[in-house]
């Protein structure tokens, strides 16, 4: 299992991914799912992956190698894509190429071609954008009304994002709420686990402002988890009990 | 969609169910999913249903009519079941009978035999018990370590139950937390909606203590939703922002 979230606010982009993979409950490993493509001063992009690891790793490798343009034959890469939209299309093409390569054999083995991606970033001088790419290679773009996208085990961590993040949120509040969302998910699904990779891209900055791994025992995240638990406990205890009078039948 | 939760604490049992059904997003209705079977002074049971409405309604009808014992031929009902365990087995048999009747035709129509049930209650002088019945008619019983069971759209409302309910919780705190759980679910899934049916059975009482419908605008539930929102907002705002120093690459 996996949980990744991308949050796009006024001042920039936050992307968060866990690192737990499992082939059955008896085979659990740690793999990086947040991949950063950065050319300082020029462009920074990040890709978070969920789903079958063999597929998503192949997609990342393809993006590093570049994909020949079907018309010109020239290799297209994230570094030479003329816009974030064209870069997202390139990611979608990588998804389709891997589907062509592996999809049929997976189907024969009784497996689905099952993956999804978050892809965000900025080319200097152009808008910062965040996309969710589906397993068919199509994609949607994050808007200002609900300024986040999620992949993987998204339900446990969605309520806090719904309630606490707006496009006008402070960039590091967005990171904080993303970490609370990750905490809620980790508490309910053992398939999502530490360490967590995070990246913060400030809008119009020339390079990632933060590109970091949070390991088990990291003081801030530990404190955040404790504080959030205590605050939730206080919150529900402060609500009065239902005043309903007995009305049995 | 549906969300139902059953919470079994020291002093009794709470069951909560929404009432929204939909056949596509363009066909939304209100149907009762929490069914109470009460013989005051003798036994009280409640059944909450999720899944295909035609199946769950047939199961409820069968339970009202009684099911012939395959050996004796006599009608077995929830009223004459000798224990809650035997009553849960009867519910499981109803599930299997409906599967035999409708399963094949559903499969031919491309539909799954998809439903699940919460079944709880007490026969006077015996233990109070809570079960979750699967679509194969098998069931599990709620224990003291995680004193709740959920069916339907369960993920959005699970974190608060995980955090806030123990077997020693006050009966009406269990109801309150169940309502918070329902609120979280309704906020994230439009397929779960008001009104909400609730029942409270106090352990060893002779009849339901509360058997009530919460309609839109009901003051206590409205207030609970407002307070919970405000408390969550305060909770995440009280947590400091991440102190991480810029570490871009």
Rounded-to-integer distance, Cα A97 and Cα A89, Å: 12
Reported as a pLDDT band with limits 50, 70 and 90, residue B66 is very high
Residue B25 has a pLDDT of 76
Reported as a pLDDT band with limits 50, 70 and 90, residue A195 is very high
Residue A87 has a pLDDT of 98
Per-residue pLDDT at A6 exceeds 70: yes
The mean pLDDT value for A19-30 works out to: 86
Average pLDDT, chain A: 95
Enumerate residues 25 to 44 of chain A having a beta carbon within 8 A of any beta carbon in chain B. Answer: 36, 38, 40
What CATH number is attached to the domain comprising B80? Answer: 3.60.20.10
| pLDDT, tens digit, 9 for 90 and up, residues A208-232 | 999 999 999 999 999 999 999 999 9
Query: Is B223 part of a structural domain of the chain?
Result: yes
In a 3-state reduction of DSSP, which class is residue B201?
strand
* A13: containing domain: 3-238
Tally of structural domains, chain A: 1
Query: Is B209 part of a structural domain of the chain?
Result: yes
Per-residue pLDDT at A246 exceeds 70: yes
Per-residue pLDDT at A249 exceeds 70: no
The mean pLDDT value for B108-128 works out to: 96
Whether the CB-CB separation of B181 and B13 falls below 8 Å is answered with no
Residue B103 has a pLDDT of 92
Reported as a pLDDT band with limits 50, 70 and 90, residue A99 is very high
The mean pLDDT value for A94-121 works out to: 95
The mean pLDDT value for A126-145 works out to: 97
Residue A70 has a pLDDT of 82
Q: State in Å, rounded, how far the first CA of chain B is from the last one.
A: 46
Residue A156 to residue B160, Cβ atoms within 8 A: no
Residue from A242, A245, A247, A249 whose CB has the most chain B CBs within 10 Å, to mutate: A242
Query: Is A67 part of a structural domain of the chain?
Result: yes
- The packing angle between helices A219-238 and B171-188, to 10°, is 110
Q: Number of H helices and number of E strands within chain B?
A: 5, 14
The mean pLDDT value for B140-164 works out to: 95
Provide, as residue numbers in chain B, all residues whose Cβ is less than 8 Å from the Cβ of A212: 244, 247
Residue A160 to residue B236, Cβ atoms within 8 A: yes
| pLDDT, tens digit, 9 for 90 and up, residues A74-90 | 999 999 999 999 999 99
In a 3-state reduction of DSSP, which class is residue A73?
coil
Rounded-to-integer distance, Cα A214 and Cα B246, Å: 14
Find, among A183, A203, A202, the residue nearest to A193 by Cα.
A183
Residue B176 to residue A236, Cβ atoms within 8 A: yes
Reported as a pLDDT band with limits 50, 70 and 90, residue B1 is confident
- Which residue of B lies nearest to A164 if distances are taken between CA atoms? B233
Distance from CA of B59 to the nearest CA of A (A): 23
- Element containing residue B133 per DSSP (H, E): strand B129-133
Percent of chain A clearing pLDDT 90 (strictly above): 89
Average pLDDT, chain B: 95
Query: Is A246 part of a structural domain of the chain?
Result: no
Structure tokens at B10: 């020291």
A21 DSSP β-pair partners: A29
Residue A28 has a pLDDT of 87
Query: Is B210 part of a structural domain of the chain?
Result: yes
Structure tokens at A188: 């309910």
Q: Nearest 5 degrees, angle CA A171-CA A177-CA A180?
A: 150
Residue A247 has a pLDDT of 66
The mean pLDDT value for B157-176 works out to: 95
Distance from CA of B73 to the nearest CA of A (A): 32
Per-residue pLDDT at A25 exceeds 80: no
Query: Is A248 part of a structural domain of the chain?
Result: no
Residue A238 has a pLDDT of 95
Query: Is B37 part of a structural domain of the chain?
Result: yes
Provide, as residue numbers in chain B, all residues whose Cβ is less than 8 Å from the Cβ of A38: 248-249
Provide, as residue numbers in chain A, all residues whose Cβ is less than 8 Å from the Cβ of B158: 156, 188
Query: Is A19 part of a structural domain of the chain?
Result: yes
């Amino acid at each position: 299992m996996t949980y990744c979230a991308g949050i796009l606010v006024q001042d920039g982009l936050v992307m968060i991914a866990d690192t737990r993979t499992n082939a059955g409950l008896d085979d659990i490993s740690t793999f990086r799912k947040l991949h950063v493509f950065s050319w300082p001063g020029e462009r920074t992009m990040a890709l978070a992956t969920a789903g079958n690891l063999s597929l998503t790793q192949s997609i990342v490798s393809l993006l590093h190698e570049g994909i020949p343009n079907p018309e010109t034959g020239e290799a297209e890469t994230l570094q030479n894509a003329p816009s974030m939209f064209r870069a997202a299309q390139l990611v979608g093409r990588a998804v389709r190429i891997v589907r062509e390569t592996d999809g049929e054999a997976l189907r024969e083995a009784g497996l689905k071609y099952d993956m999804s991606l978050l892809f965000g970033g900025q080319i200097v001088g152009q808008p910062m954008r965040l996309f969710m790419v589906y397993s068919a290679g199509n994609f949607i773009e994050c808007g200002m009304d609900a300024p986040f996208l999620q992949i993987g085990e998204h339900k446990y961590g969605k309520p806090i994002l719904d309630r606490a993040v707006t496009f006008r949120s402070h960039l590091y509040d967005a990171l904080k709420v993303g970490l609370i969302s990750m905490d809620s998910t980790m508490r309910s699904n053992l398939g999502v686990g530490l360490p967590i990779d995070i990246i913060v891209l400030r809008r119009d900055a020339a390079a990632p402002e933060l590109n970091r791994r949070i390991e088990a025992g990291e003081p801030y995240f530990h404190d955040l988890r404790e504080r959030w638990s205590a605050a939730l406990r206080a919150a529900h205890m402060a609500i009065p009990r239902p005043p309903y009078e007995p009305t049995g039948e």
